[in-house]
């Protein structure tokens, strides 16, 4: 089983809404079901890191604490950087999976309404 975009979008919605218990349950179920590949491990590790970063929300060195979610140009810049790393064949599969998760999260963040709420119908 691979990681579905629908699952990822829902997970990102949950952590953005700070619904951590539900996000943790989703992540645990996915860990049990997903095929054990390096790419999937990198992707799952990124999801876990996002969850932990959003829960603590106080570390000045954590990427999510320093991003201006209202600045579309900044988010687009990060998304492009993550996509470049995700597609770079010189990176290991683990790293490409890790950066793919971050690229997907920034894509979802770009779809967030100003109030910080996601509308799943607006996410492609």
59-110 residue pLDDT tens:
666 777 777 777 889 899 999 999 999 999 999 999 999 999 999 999 988 8
- Give the CA radius of gyration of the chain: 14
**pTM as predicted:** 0.82
Q: What is the mean pLDDT of the chain?
A: 85
Expressed as residue numbers, the domain containing 76 is 5-122
pLDDT at 10: 93
Nearest CA to 50 among 98, 2, 122? 98
Tell me how many domains the chain contains.
1
45-58 residue pLDDT tens:
999 999 998 888 76
């Amino acid at each position: 089983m691979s990681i579905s975009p629908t699952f990822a979008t829902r997970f990102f919605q949950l952590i953005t809404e700070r619904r951590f218990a539900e996000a943790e349950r989703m992540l645990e179920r996915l860990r049990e079901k997903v095929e054990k590949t390096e790419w999937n491990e990198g992707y799952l590790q990124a999801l876990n890191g996002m969850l932990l970063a959003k829960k603590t929300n106080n570390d000045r060195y954590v990427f999510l604490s320093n991003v201006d979610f209202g600045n579309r140009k900044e988010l687009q810049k990060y998304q492009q950087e993550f996509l470049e790393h995700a597609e770079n064949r010189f990176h290991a599969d683990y790293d490409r999976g890790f950066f793919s998760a971050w690229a997907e999260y920034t894509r979802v963040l770009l779809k967030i309404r100003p109030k910080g709420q996601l509308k799943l119908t607006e996410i492609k």
